[in-house]
Structure 1
Amino acid sequence: MADNSNQFVYVPSPQSGNPGQTSAAFTTMQTRTSLLRAVYGGTETMRAKAQEFLPQYEKESDARYQARLKSTFALNKLREAVDAASAKPFRTMLKVLDPSNDQDLPLWVQDIDLQGNHLHVFAHQLFNNAMLDGMAHVLIDHPSTFNMPNLAAQKASGARPFFKLYKVDDVAAAYDAYVGGDVKTWHVRIRGFRADRDGFKEKSYNQLRVIEIDPTKGTGIVQLWEQLATSGGGSWTFISEEPLQNMPEVPFVTLYAGEKEADYQVKSVFQDLAYKQIEHWISSSDQRSILSAARFPMLACSGVQIDPEDEAQFAIGPYKVLYAPEANGRWYYVEPRGTAIESGAKDLDRLEMQMDMMALNPVTGTHRQYVPQNERDIQETRVHSVVHDMAINCQDAIERCIQFMGQWTNKDLTQAKAILNTEFSNTKDRLLEVAQLVKMWEERGLSRKALLTEVVNRNLLGDDFSLDDELAFWAKIDELNMQAADGMLPGRWTQADPTKEPAGGGGSSSSDPNASANGNGTGTGTNPAPKTFDFPKGQTRPTKQI
C-alpha cells in the first residue's frame, strides 16, 4: 500500500501576517555566512567584529584594547583561496551549445541579467559566492505581462527572461516539495530594498517578494510586501499580488558548493579555514603586542640618584650625556631574551601552513619547507577533484536556468549545454601531454580529429577555434598534396587517406597496380620501380642499436 503521509498539499499564502519570518535553514546559514563574510572582507570587517573575533583580556583597558585592535592586520587566506578556486573553471570563456539553434538565446547570453553582464561574468559571480557561502541562488525572472492583451504586445514590449543573483542572506525562506518523483521549488521569500528621495533626504524601505506556485497545477502568485526600514522590525504592509502561470515550479535554482546537510542548508568547504584565519588574527595581535613591549631595550641605572629637577627634563638621544654622581653607579640597557617572541613567530608560521592546506593550495608550504613531488601531485589531484565536481554542479545549474528561460517563452531549451573549463593542470603538464599525443598521431595511432579534440580540451587553442573548419582545411590540403603527383612521382601518405601510404615508406601507393607485389623493385608498368633496400629481413631502416 502506498504511503501518502508526505503527499504535497498546496496552501496559498495570505495577504496579511508577517512574511518576514525566516526558516530554520536560514537561521543556521545566517550564523555561518556572517562569519564567512566578515573574514572574507579582511582587516576592515574583522576589526568591525571587535571582541567577537579578538577577545579583550582581563584588566586590559579599553584604550589599550582599541590600540591593539587597530594595530592588528589580517592575512586574508580565505579570500585568496575562494578567488583562486572560483577562477579555475572560468579560465576560458563559458560556452553554451544549443542544438535547437534558437535565435534569442545567443542574445540573452550576451546580457543575461539585463545589467550588461555576459553569462560568463554572471556565472563566475555565482560560483564565487557559492564557494564562499556554500551555496548561491538564481531567480529566472520575467517582466510582468499579465496585463498585456496578447503575445504580439508582449514581444513589442521587449519583455524577455533574465537572471537575478541572490546570496544566502537574501533568501529568507525557500521550500521544496516532492511531486511525481521530482523535487520542485514551490515557495520562496526574497529580501529586497528600495529608497525614495524625499527632498535632500532619503526614505528607505525593506521589501519582501513572496513567489509560490502549486506544482500540481502550474499556477501561483507573486506578492510584494514592504516595511519602513526605520520601523525597527515593525509590521509589513501588503502592496500587490500578481498571478504566476504556465510554470511547473518557482523558477529558482540553487548552486550547492559544499556539504549539503538539508534543503538550503550547507557547510562551506572553507568554513574551517575561516576559523583558522580568526585564530591567526588573534595570534598575530598577541605577537605584535609582545613586540611593541619587548623588542625595544629599556635603559636602567643602579647606584644613581637623579635630581628631581633633572628627572623632569630627562631624555635619551644623541648629543646627550649620561653621568653617575655615585662612584659605583652605572647605566645599562635591559633587553629580553626573545624566547617568547621566537615562540610566537613559530606559532604564526604553523598557522599559515595550516591555512595553506585548508585553502586547497596544491603546493602547500613550499616556501617554508620542502614538499616531495609525489606529495604535491597528491595535493594537486585533491584540489582539482574538489573544484572539478563543483564546476560540474555549476554547469548543471546554468543549464537548469536556461531551461527556465525556455519555459518562460514557450521554447524547448532542454538540450542546451553549458561548458566550463574542467582542465586544471598547469601549462607545462598540458604541453607534455600534447607532445605525447602528437607522437601518437605521427605513428598513426591517432587520427587528426582526435588529436585536435584533445588539444581543444586542454584549452591550448583560442575560444574562436573551430574544429570543423580546421578539419575541412586540412582535408583540402591533403587532397592537394595527393594531386601533386604528376604520374611520374608517387603521392605521399596523408592523414586524410592512410590507405595510400607508399610501399616501403617512399615508393608508389599501395593501390598502384604497377607496384611490385614482393617489393623487389621489378615493376611491370610504365612508372619506375620503387626504391629497394638492402637491410636484412626486409627492413626499411637500420636496426636500433641502443
Structure 2
Amino acid sequence: MNNVTYISPEMQALNHKTKIIDDLLGGTYSMRKAGREHLFQMPLEDEKAYKNRLNRSTLYPALSETLSQMCGRVFFDPINTVDVDEKIQQEFLPDVDLLGNNLDVFASQWFYAALAYGVSFVLVDYSHIQQAITLADEKALGARPYLIHIKPQAVLGIKYERINGQTRLTQFRYKEFIILDDGEFATKQVEQINVYEIGRVRKFRQGVDGGEHLLIEDIAMKINGKPLDFVPVIPFVTKNTGHHYFAEPPLMELAYLNIKHWQSQSDQDNILNTARVPLLARTGVSDDSAVKIGGSIIDLPKDGNLFYVEHSGASIQAGQESLKELESQMRVAGAKLLDKTVLAMTDSQAKDEQSKEISLLRLYANRFEDALDLTLEYVGKWLGIENVGKVEISGNIDSDYDPNASMDTVIKLNAAGIVSKQTAFNESKRRGLISDNVEWEDEQARLDGDGIDDGFSSNENSTNSEEDENA
C-alpha cells in the first residue's frame, strides 16, 4: 500500500474506541450531536418526539470526572527533577513545546490523553532554520528542541523492527492541520501528513479542493552532521494489547457504563415528563360529541363520566434505583485504578522492593517516569548533552479512598505522640482539608499569636484575683 493516507487496522480499531471516549469527554453537547450512535430511537417514536427527547437528555460526567481525579492524584505535587542538566532546566523545561507550557502542564496533558485513550505520543522535534549552516548557527538564531503532543486519533500507522536485539520504531505517520492564508484576510485549514523515519522526515500536503497529498518536504534529520539513528517519537502506553505501541483505553468499561447511564437517564427523564401530565379520560359517550369545559362548569353527556388517568409511579421508582446502581458501578469501575495488586514491573518501575503490590495508577505513573526520562534523553541528544538527569513522580496516588475518614486516625496518632503536629498538618493539607495556600510556618505564627493573647488574658485574670483577695 503506497497511499500515504492509509490507516493501519490497529489504529482503525483503536479509533473506534477513542470515538466513544471523545463523545463522553465532550459532555452533553457531544452526546447529543452523536444522536443515534448512543441514544436509540424507539420503534413507535416519531422523529419529532425523538429529537425532543434527545435535546432533553443530559450526561452524568462519570468518565471525565474520574480521569480528572486520577490525573489530579498523579500530579498532586510538581514533577521532581533529579540531576537534570542546568541548560535543560533553564532553557527547556519552562517552555517545552514553544507554546508557553512548562513540563508539569505538558506532562499532565500527555498523561491524561494516555489514560483516556490507552496510548499517546510525543515527538521531540527541532526547530530548523533555513539560513543556518552549522549547529552553532542554529543555536545563535534560537533553534532548539521542542515537544509535540500527538493523540492516537491523529496517528495513521506505526512500523517497528528488531534492531540489535531491541524493538525499535522505524516509521511513524500522523496527520495534522496546517493553517494557511487564504487571501488578504481569511485563512484555511489544510491536511498535512508527516512521515518520520530513522534519519528522515517527509511531509505530504493535501492538494486544492481535497485533492491528492503531494510531497512538499523531504528532510534529512541530522545531529552534528550525522544522521539521526532513531525516530524521535516516545509512545506512552497505559493498557497494552500485547503489541508494541498499540493499546486500548483502560477505562473502556467505565465508558460503556457511562453510555448506559446516558440512555437510562434519558428514559427516566422521558417517563417523568409523561407522568407529570395526567391524561383526561371520559366514559359513557357513544358519539363524537365534544365535552364542554368552561370555568368551573363541565358539560357532560347523559350517563357520562370524566376523570384523570395518572401514572402509578412504580416504574419511575424502579428507574431511579437503576440509575443509582449504575452510578455505584461506575464509581467501582473508576476506583479499580487504585486497587493494589501484584503487577509485573520492570526494575526501573519497582520503586519499593519491600512490596510488589501496587495500584494500576501507580504502575502507569512509573511507566510515565520512564517516558519522560526518554524524552529528556532525546532532548539531550539534540543539545549534545549526555547526562540529562531524570524525573520522579510522587503525587498522591496510593492514599486512601476517603481522605476525610482517615484524618481521624492521623489526629489520634498525633495525640498519642506517634506523629508530630506538622506531620498532621501536612496530612490534612494533602487530603485537601486545608488550602494549598496555607503554610505551616504561617499557621505557627498565628498560633503563637493566639497563645500571647491567652497569656495576657490569663495575667489579667490573675491580677484581678489577687485584688479580690486583698480586698
- Shorter chain as normaliser: what TM range? 0.7 to 0.9
Aligned pair partner of 1:352 in 320, 327, 333: 327
5 Å matches for 1:8-23? 17-23=2-8
CA–CA separation in structure 2 for the residues paired with 1:261 and 1:117: 33
Q: How large is the RMSD of aligned CA atoms in angstroms?
A: 3.5
CA–CA separation in structure 1 for the residues paired with 2:293 and 2:382: 83
Q: Deviations over 1:241-272 (max 9, x none)?
A: 11112433111111112243312321212111
1:92 aligns with 2:77: yes
5 Å matches for 1:295-314? 295-303=276-284, 311=291, 314=293
1:207 aligns with 2:192: yes
CA gap of 1:242–1:146, structure 2 versus 1, over 3 A, is: farther
CA–CA separation in structure 2 for the residues paired with 1:363 and 1:412: 36
Aligned pair partner of 1:343 in 318, 325, 349: 318
C-alpha deviation, 1:289, in angstroms: 2.2
CA–CA separation in structure 1 for the residues paired with 2:72 and 2:358: 12
Q: Deviations over 1:270-327 (max 9, x none)?
A: 111111111112222222222222332222233368995x65x757xxx43224353x
CA gap of 1:177–1:434, structure 2 versus 1, over 3 A, is: farther
Aligned pair partner of 2:385 in 382, 406, 411: 411
5 Å matches for 1:225-236? 225-228=204-207, 230-231=209-210, 234-236=211-213
Q: Secondary structure of 2:66's match?
A: helix
C-alpha deviation, 1:59, in angstroms: 3.3
Q: Deviations over 1:435-469 (max 9, x none)?
A: 57995699xxxxxxxx99xx89x9699999xxxxx
C-alpha deviation, 1:361, in angstroms: 7.3
C-alpha deviation, 1:72, in angstroms: 1.3
CA gap of 1:419–1:463, structure 2 versus 1, over 3 A, is: farther
Quote the sequence identity (%): 26
Aligned pair partner of 1:159 in 139, 143, 159: 143
Mind listing any 5+ residue stretches in structure 1 that lack a counterpart?
1-15, 214-219, 365-382, 443-450, 465-546
CA–CA separation in structure 1 for the residues paired with 2:239 and 2:338: 22
C-alpha deviation, 1:147, in angstroms: 5.7
Q: Secondary structure of 1:432's match?
A: helix
Q: Check the 8 A contact 1:134/1:258 in 2, yes or no.
A: yes
1:260 aligns with 2:235: no
1:389 aligns with 2:363: yes
CA–CA separation in structure 2 for the residues paired with 1:160 and 1:43: 41
1:273 aligns with 2:254: yes
1:142 aligns with 2:126: yes
CA–CA separation in structure 2 for the residues paired with 1:91 and 1:321: 69
Q: Check the 8 A contact 1:28/1:265 in 2, yes or no.
A: no
Q: Deviations over 1:126-168 (max 9, x none)?
A: 1111111011111111112586222331221111111111101
C-alpha deviation, 1:203, in angstroms: 3.5
Normalized per residue, which structure has more helix? 2
5 Å matches for 1:76-91? 76-91=61-76
C-alpha deviation, 1:201, in angstroms: 4.3
Q: What amino acid is aligned across from residue 221 of structure 2 in structure 1?
A: L
> Which residue is equivalent to 2:177?
193
Mind listing any 5+ residue stretches in structure 2 that lack a counterpart?
340-356, 438-471
TM-score (norm 2): 0.77
Q: What amino acid is aligned across from residue 139 of structure 1 in structure 2?
A: L
> Which residue is equivalent to 1:34?
19
Q: What amino acid is aligned across from residue 345 of structure 1 in structure 2?
A: Q
Structure with max Cα Rg: 1
> Which residue is equivalent to 2:215?
238
Q: What amino acid is aligned across from residue 310 of structure 2 in structure 1?
A: E
Q: Check the 8 A contact 2:77/2:396 in 1, yes or no.
A: no
Q: What amino acid is aligned across from residue 240 of structure 1 in structure 2?
A: E
Which is further off, 42-51 or 428-437? 428-437
Q: What amino acid is aligned across from residue 268 of structure 2 in structure 1?
A: Q
> Which residue is equivalent to 2:345?
none
C-alpha deviation, 1:340, in angstroms: 2.2
1:53 aligns with 2:27: no
> Which residue is equivalent to 1:122?
106
CA–CA separation in structure 2 for the residues paired with 1:157 and 1:252: 25
Q: What amino acid is aligned across from residue 109 of structure 1 in structure 2?
A: L
CA gap of 1:385–1:42, structure 2 versus 1, over 3 A, is: same
CA–CA separation in structure 2 for the residues paired with 1:267 and 1:300: 55
CA gap of 1:230–1:270, structure 2 versus 1, over 3 A, is: farther
1:68 aligns with 2:68: no
Q: Secondary structure of 1:417's match?
A: strand
Aligned pair partner of 1:321 in 297, 303, 307: 297
Q: Secondary structure of 1:360's match?
A: helix
Q: Check the 8 A contact 2:237/2:246 in 1, yes or no.
A: no
